Chain A
Amino acid sequence: MRICGLEKSYNVGLWRRRRFRALEPLHLDVPVGEVFGYIGPNGSGKTTTLKILMGLVMADAGDASILGHPYRGDVWRQRAGYLPEQPYFYDYLTAREYLDYAGRLLGLERGLRRDRAHALLSRLGLHKVADQPLRRYSKGMQQRLGLAQALLNDPEVVFLDEPMSGLDPLGRQLVHDLIQSLRSQRKSVFFSTHILPDAESLCDRVGLLRAGRLQSSGRLDEILDIDVSHLEVLVSGASSSFMEVAPTGVLDKRAVGDRWCLDVDENQLGRVIRAVEQDGGRVRSVRAQRLSLEEFFVRELGDGPSS
């Protein structure tokens, strides 16, 4: 996918009309087979970009090509999938009926539609409720159906707008596995998120968007340069008296059942571990804590996410 200078402004205000620039001229290349994370805080222009590419919103200027075809055309759509943010599907249909309808729009033959729908419903854990009306579906189930319709045509490129939104941990793992599986099949995935760990664990590269402007793109650790602010240390068997007077380097502490979770300054980790062991306790795990993207933005850029 190649984006060359796509931009979008909206008129806002009822009486005093003014232009709101939702997307500054955007230039971006995503090679075939790459998982690309489009990250940024809420209101940064991620969804606008995806809507422009999908033809739901008209760009003011610029151009793009997807799978070698002009983005305004239809040719590539046969080979692409799209999951909108917080999707809504016809509540009078069942999941099987909806996928059949989507398959008809994609020009799939009846047998192929049925087989693919069945396979995807099973894979996404919806096979038991496939014949129930969608009005009975929870938000997470709707999200799973959204993924199913996006993958119905076995697409070469998949656009996912906040795919983890509304999902429980199992659902998130499912999407995680799904994207990994697409990557292993050399399919391109372009997904937007504001949740840094998702991007970090899944993406080959990311584009960082803020206030409609692409700040940078590249590997996540390159462009964000996030410092590990502190480490989370899980401790068991430490005495209450020891925990009351926590050793130097412990920034915060909280009880988790009969264990303690300590936020420890990275430079003081060795000292804290030794102190715990001297008290007769054991360190169960040490995990790096990273800032969320929004926290990073607030801290690094000094204003709110919707700026």
Chain B
Amino acid sequence: MSRASLRRIAAVAANTHRESVRERVLYNLVFFAILMMLSGLLLDELSVRQDEKLVKDLGLAAMEIFGILIALFIGVGLVSKELDKRSLYPLLAKPLRRWELLLGKFIGLALTLLVNIVVMTMAMLGTLSLTGRGFDPGLLVAVYTIFLSLLLIVAIALFFSTLTSSTLAAVSTFCLVLAGRYADVIRNMSTVLPDAPRWLIDLVYYSIPNFSNFDLKDRVVYGDAVSVEELLWITLYCGTYSGLALLLAFLGFRRRDLP
């Protein structure tokens, strides 16, 4: 990859980040996420055991749910919205390759998600601090895997965004993420459907990213240790599936006629 290419990718990433931080919907979602985390203060008071777990659970869940919403809603519009409005025309006539555009958009939204995750993590740690609990480094492990899952969602959303309209891309991404949350059910399908060919079940299982791999919330909240090897494996898993989704997005977009 040449230096000029890197500069163009950086320019697209910076502009995508700028676009997303100027989206009103982003602030609404972050606001509600922080509000949900702060509600842990109230629940903590009402809880009989004043359980620390409650605050952590709520914080991580808010981070994940609102992170998914941001990744989904902004991700699906990354390309399809630009195709609808034809704002890509003057840009693609410049020495900007289509894969550079897609990669730049992915990095730009990833950057926005990183900033949001940092803000929400600080809100969660602040809530814990207000209830008199100390800093739990284990939480950062769960935050890290949530961030990885969001990157994968952005890659999937970007893939669908290059193929279809924003609405269809949102529905398709949501369905795939939902299926991925329950990928283990697909894996054990042979117990329900004994006649179904094993290869077909395996094909479906491995085609869909298993989002439960990223879910370390319960383990972290209960204080279970997560090994470095496991984190590396999850990172590799995210990298492979995200890379694949981006590659498919590029192949689909490479020779597509713009409307």
- Interface residues, chain A, CB within 8 Å of chain B? 10, 51, 54-58, 74, 77-78, 80, 82-84, 86-90, 92-93, 97, 101-102, 104-107, 146, 149-150, 159
Chain A residues, Cβ within 8 Å of B88: 56
User: A54 CA to B257 CA in the complex, in Å?
Assistant: 11
Chain B min CB distance to A100 (Å): 9
Knowing that A88-B87, A105-B94 touch, tell me 20 more A-B residue pairs with CB under 8 angstroms: A54-B89, A54-B93, A56-B88, A56-B258, A80-B93, A82-B90, A87-B89, A88-B85, A88-B86, A89-B90, A90-B19, A90-B87, A92-B23, A102-B94, A104-B7, A104-B11, A105-B12, A105-B96, A146-B90, A149-B90
Q: Find out whether the CB atom of A77 lies under 8 angstroms from the CB atom of B15.
A: no
Q: Find out whether the CB atom of A89 lies under 8 angstroms from the CB atom of B8.
A: no
Chain B residues, Cβ within 8 Å of A89: 87, 90
User: A80 CA to B8 CA in the complex, in Å?
Assistant: 17
> Is B97 an interface residue, CB under 8 A from the partner?
yes
A161 closest partner in B (C-beta): B89
Chain A residues, Cβ within 8 Å of B96: 105
Chain B min CB distance to A88 (Å): 5
Q: Find out whether the CB atom of B87 lies under 8 angstroms from the CB atom of A105.
A: no
A82 closest partner in B (C-beta): B93
Q: Find out whether the CB atom of B4 lies under 8 angstroms from the CB atom of A107.
A: yes
Count chain B residues whose beta carbon lies closer than 8 angstroms to a beta carbon of A: 26
Chain A min CB distance to B8 (Å): 6
User: A104 CA to B7 CA in the complex, in Å?
Assistant: 8
Chain A min CB distance to B27 (Å): 13
Q: Find out whether the CB atom of A55 lies under 8 angstroms from the CB atom of B93.
A: yes
Chain B residues, Cβ within 8 Å of A97: 18
User: A74 CA to B8 CA in the complex, in Å?
Assistant: 13
> Is B91 an interface residue, CB under 8 A from the partner?
yes
Chain B residues, Cβ within 8 Å of A105: 8, 11-12, 91, 94-96
Q: Find out whether the CB atom of A104 lies under 8 angstroms from the CB atom of B92.
A: no
User: A82 CA to B96 CA in the complex, in Å?
Assistant: 13
Q: Find out whether the CB atom of A107 lies under 8 angstroms from the CB atom of B258.
A: no
Q: Find out whether the CB atom of B93 lies under 8 angstroms from the CB atom of A107.
A: no
Chain A min CB distance to B251 (Å): 14
User: A177 CA to B23 CA in the complex, in Å?
Assistant: 39
Q: Find out whether the CB atom of B255 lies under 8 angstroms from the CB atom of A77.
A: no
User: A77 CA to B89 CA in the complex, in Å?
Assistant: 13
User: A58 CA to B257 CA in the complex, in Å?
Assistant: 6
Chain A min CB distance to B241 (Å): 29
Central interface residue in B19, B86, B90, by most chain A CB within 10 Å = B90
Central interface residue in B85, B86, B89, by most chain A CB within 10 Å = B89
Chain A residues, Cβ within 8 Å of B49: none
Q: Find out whether the CB atom of A57 lies under 8 angstroms from the CB atom of B95.
A: no
Chain A residues, Cβ within 8 Å of B257: 10, 56-58
Chain B residues, Cβ within 8 Å of A146: 90
User: A86 CA to B39 CA in the complex, in Å?
Assistant: 49
Chain B min CB distance to A94 (Å): 11
Chain B residues, Cβ within 8 Å of A92: 18-19, 22-23
Chain B min CB distance to A202 (Å): 22
**Residue A54 contacts which of B7, B23, B85, B92 (CB distance < 8 angstroms)?**
B92
User: A57 CA to B257 CA in the complex, in Å?
Assistant: 4
Q: Find out whether the CB atom of A77 lies under 8 angstroms from the CB atom of B95.
A: yes
What 10 A-B pairs have minimum CB-CB distances, sorted nearest first?
A104-B11, A82-B93, A84-B89, A54-B93, A77-B95, A92-B22, A74-B95, A56-B258, A57-B257, A105-B94
Central interface residue in A78, A80, A87, A105, by most chain B CB within 10 Å = A105
**Residue B15 contacts which of A101, A107, A149 (CB distance < 8 angstroms)?**
A101
**Residue A107 contacts which of B7, B18, B91, B255 (CB distance < 8 angstroms)?**
B7
Chain A min CB distance to B210 (Å): 36
The A-contacting residues of B in range 1-50, CB under 8 angstroms, are 4, 7-8, 11-12, 15, 18-19, 22-23
A56 closest partner in B (C-beta): B258
User: A58 CA to B94 CA in the complex, in Å?
Assistant: 16
